[in-house]
Structure 1
Amino acid sequence: MGALRSLVRNESRTMAGLWLYLRRREDGVDEDAVAVPYGANGKAIFIVFAVVSAFEAGLFWLIDFGLVVDLLLLVLGVYSALLVFGVYAGTVVRPHVISPREVRVRYSSFYDLRIPRENVSTLRHLKESHDPAEAKAFRDGTWLSYDNFYETNLIAELREPMTMTRPLGKTESIRVVKFHADDPKAAVAAYERLDVS
């Protein structure tokens, strides 16, 4: 039941992200914080998926399943295209955030990890490619944010382990967070500039 609740929550956040995107607003970036975008490399794939979903919905009109089934398939096709575009919109309106209080690692509507600054021992730039089979599991307390084709370029090492909630509600204990930013050097510079210790 927890996974179903998490799925519904993710879909409602996805639609909310689409609304924010249409209004050109960002979510969760305070005045003293720096937004760290991460979705530039995935834009083309999201556009392809959205177009394919819309095209697929149109193709169902060519096969006569009856009016009720045709309308249902059309609604589902349009909804799936909106979801795909909503996930992309979420990557734009919900960037990673670096502030004097926290480092916030996010991916669209699926996860939002808030790491207090006092728990971050280092944030550094290091480009790595990860094997997808191994990236699916949490290994040695390392969490890989694999939203960018299993490539990461930022590593946050934590002083104390913390709990990470996965998209469908399962939790894991982590000590290292590896994630991606469009400009990792600017992210590290913002982290150092906003250091209040």
Structure 2
Amino acid sequence: MSAPDRLRRLAAHERRWMRSLALWAVRRRDGVGEGDTAFGYARAQAPTSYGLVFVFAVETVGVSFLLAPYPAAHLVMLVLDLYTVLLVLGLHAAAVTRPHVVGPGGVRVRYRASLDLWVPAALIASARVETRFPDANRVEEGVLEVAVAAQTSVTLELARPVTAVGLWGRRRRVRSVRLHADEPRAAVAAVRELLAERR
């Protein structure tokens, strides 16, 4: 992928998490329509996100005191530190405002501002509750793992593969989607109900 393409994708990602901050502030969600059922996945990562925000905020104050005698360096570090705090909050906001969605036509699997995969109901063979702790260093062929806090809790098996597109545009054909949901049993029940209605 060329450098301009990477910059475009990065800019789009930035817009999505910034928009998520605005949606979070007004308690709204992205892409949840009439007749859709949303399933969150942010609960498991919330303590880590808030912990990072606290650490970066403390660092911002500390660095401000250290660099007070050097105005130019102080300004640069202040901007970088504030951006980092905003980024961490924005990524958490994206997880809150961009949930997984089960709708009349299928399942929308999402992760923060970096993944949005549509799986048509006609391609879903089965859904089950399954707690897994995937190895981040090992990529299974044909399997998309959307882990939160290093775990997945729902597995969708597909009748035919779908194409998942990553943040940097990398495309993968997958026949299994493993994702995390705060309420996995309710999520699986909603998918099975969707499949039953189609049959």
The CA deviation string for residues 9-56 of structure 1, in whole angstroms up to 9 with x for no partner, is: 112111110100001101111111100111101101000111112222
Structure 1 portions without partners, runs of 5+: none
Match of 1:189 in 2: 189
Confirm or deny: 8 A CA contact 2:125 2:159 kept in the other structure: yes
Q: Distance in 2 between matches of 1:54 and 1:7?
A: 24
Give the 3-state SS of the residue equivalent to 1:125 in structure 2.
strand
Match of 1:144 in 2: 145
Confirm or deny: 8 A CA contact 2:44 2:149 kept in the other structure: no
Structure 2 portions without partners, runs of 5+: none
Alignment of 1:8 with 2:45, yes or no, is no
Confirm or deny: 8 A CA contact 2:30 2:98 kept in the other structure: yes
Give the 3-state SS of the residue equivalent to 2:156 in structure 1.
strand
Paired amino acid for 1:131: D
Alignment of 1:88 with 2:89, yes or no, is no
Confirm or deny: 8 A CA contact 2:121 2:194 kept in the other structure: no
Q: Distance in 1 between matches of 2:170 and 2:7?
A: 12
Match of 1:127 in 2: 131
Paired amino acid for 2:153: N
Paired amino acid for 1:90: A
Q: Which TM-score applies when normalising by structure 1?
A: 0.93
| % identical aligned pairs | 33
Paired amino acid for 1:150: A
Paired amino acid for 2:130: L
1:130 CA displacement: 1.6
Q: Give the number of equivalent residue pairs.
A: 193
Give the 3-state SS of the residue equivalent to 1:41 in structure 2.
coil
